Amino acid sequence: MEYNKILFSRLISSFLWTVVLQAFPLSFYILLTNFNIKHPVEWLLKPVSVAFSFSTWLSLIPIHALVFAIGYILAQDHQKLPCICKTRFQFFCNLFTKINFLKLFFYFLIGLIVPWSYLNINKLTLFVNCQQFPDKFCLSDGKIYLISCGCWTGVYYFLRYDLLIEKRLEYPIIRQIKFLQIRYKFLSIFFSSLTSSLVPIFYYLAFYLCYGKHIIWLFEVFFSAQVDSSTVTNTSLLSVSQLVHLWTITTCVILILRVLNLMIQIHYTEHYSFTLIKQPNVDSIILSAALSERNMPIIQHLACYDLYIMSMSPRSNRWQIFTLSQPGGHPHTWNAILNECIKLIEEFILKIEDIYKVKTPVKPPPIVPKHIHPRSMNVRYEEILTSPVPLSPINKLRNLVEEPGMPFIHEERSILDDFWIKIGHVNEMIKKNSIINYIFNSKPDVEIRFILSNSQPLIWVVQSLSELSANALYEDQFGIVLKDLPLIISTLLRLKFSVDKIGNLQNKFQRRDTDLCMKSSLKSAIRRSLYRIAVAYSDYLPDLPLSVENLNCMKNFGNFKEN
């Protein structure tokens, strides 16, 4: 499909940029590990000569292959539908998926291949000549020390920055050239990688000093070779040169993975211009069709983003929205865009109403006693009921004395009924356990947080409709937007009331900063849109077929008296 072509081309572009930027971590590694104060010119020129050598790029082919594989998997995370985990148990089970295990394997591999390739480029190999047996090759414990640290860094990056982090694309607030975004963000990523690499190094040193022999044994078994025992000392592993190698390799592994994520972030959020009218014999995607795409959220996001940019652009970029079809003279373009935008808003409103709807308590049905066995009744009362009533003056005084209570009714229950009653008691005891409640009970605010975190397309749609409606007053020659203006106003007001409901009830729950930002952005976008429409049509609001409540609200917006 055309959607897959767009996404695959962006994946290739992000991969090529990542390959080009591989020269920076490699030059950084060569520069620090070959420090030579006696020959400063040679020391400064060596990274340049190594980074632009053809043999160097041949050595980096395995790294590039792993980078493309990881990039493809990361791109799939942004293409699939987001899932909601209502309980902590569901969130825990969602961690153990095939994709996560595959990413862990590739992160481990890139942590293995990066130090291996960098050491080979720096003329430092894993195999050395044995001092005891000159005819044989042995493993260098120093290289094992560095390579195993790279493997641990890949695993640490997966656990710290990928497994527990929500996969979400952040679109730029202000459009910038791609090169400027890469330049600014790459420098910040580089400096942050220098400090964030210290944490995995600390963990690795503590583990290697205690269990380093086991790691060496694994390398000996895998390569069927022995480690040169003459160089196995903890003091040599903690030398300044080894620590510099360790720090640079860890930084390079983290930097490569972060650069890949940055390139995917920049390229997948890049603006794409959809066509408004289908042209014959031209492979293009219509904006209305992209807005209706529910199976690929990233395509829908790009369509909403394009509609927002188009509404803010000059008139020459959106004139086709206000045209009529030929032949026929129908506003098919505007109707298709409006219908998809209204559907998106209505879906959001419906989700909020489902969460915050008032649930009326259901009255329990009346208790009907079971069949009473005649033998279960007391014999004394049977005699009283069946015996004839004597005619005496004492019977006249029976209403002055309290009558005996109702007879005790003994219900016969089967063994299966007793079993289910005990199961119910056990279930109630389990529910009272605080640990069980923490793991299996659904969090009260998880649904609204999930909705707010995915409300960015709605922000674009709301502002686009208001901007197009305001501009239609001077650009719409046929009045195709004005006929739908009451629908747009009523829908935006309903959305405002729903979002205000979130603000009133959200104070009971624990909120995250990202959700607060999205909620405030959504509320600001709705208010700004209503102000824009009210100011543009302030003289014509009484002529619109609006309800009294909506008309008063719009008048307040027009007079800048929202409350």
Beta pairing partners, 138:
128
pLDDT at 403 > cutoff 60: no
Residue-range domain boundaries for the chain: 2-268, 287-356+446-558
**pLDDT band of 317, cuts 50, 70, 90:** confident
Nearest Cα residue to 78 out of 344, 301, 351: 301
pLDDT at 435 > cutoff 80: no
Residue 353 phi/psi, 5° resolution?
Answer: -65, -35
Long-range residue pairs from 433-440, CB within 8 A, at least 24 positions apart, any chain: 438/88, 439/87, 439/88, 439/89, 440/87, 440/88, 440/89
Instruction: Give the model confidence (pLDDT) of 289-303 as tens digits.
Output: 999 998 889 999 999
**pLDDT band of 48, cuts 50, 70, 90:** confident
pTM comes to: 0.83
| Interatomic CA distance for residues 448 and 458, integer angstroms | 15
Share of the chain above pLDDT 90, in %: 41
Do 289 and 332 touch, CB atoms closer than 8 A? Answer: no
pLDDT at 402 > cutoff 80: no
Token pair belonging to 321: 């929205």
| Interatomic CA distance for residues 230 and 226, integer angstroms | 12
**Which has more pLDDT, 146 or 88?**
146
Instruction: Give the model confidence (pLDDT) of 211-266 as tens digits.
Output: 888 888 898 888 888 877 655 555 567 788 889 989 999 999 999 999 999 999 99
Do 274 and 287 touch, CB atoms closer than 8 A? Answer: yes
pLDDT at 361 > cutoff 50: no
Do 443 and 87 touch, CB atoms closer than 8 A? Answer: yes
| Interatomic CA distance for residues 68 and 535, integer angstroms | 51
| Interatomic CA distance for residues 159 and 98, integer angstroms | 15
Mean of all residue pLDDT scores within the chain: 83
**pLDDT band of 411, cuts 50, 70, 90:** low
Q: What is the DSSP-derived secondary structure letter of residue 10?
A: H
